[in-house]
Amino acid sequence: MVTHLLIIRELKSLKVNYALKIARSFGVFQAIMPGIGWLAGFSLRDII
């Protein structure tokens, strides 16, 4: 119950700008992942 109240208090104080920064960082990371996978596969193509 105490943890639940702490989470609610933190969510109320969450700023939109901070939430957008977190979302943007996750989005950039997800956009880069296919390129990393392609580079890894391309560099290991002779081994596979």
pLDDT in tens, 20-48: 888 999 999 999 999 999 999 999 988 87
Write down the pTM of the prediction.
0.54
Our CA dihedral for 36, 26, 24, 32, rounded to 10 degrees, sits at 10
Task: Determine which of 9-13, 15-19, 38-42 has the lowest per-residue pLDDT on average.
Answer: 9-13
pLDDT at residue 6 tops 90: no
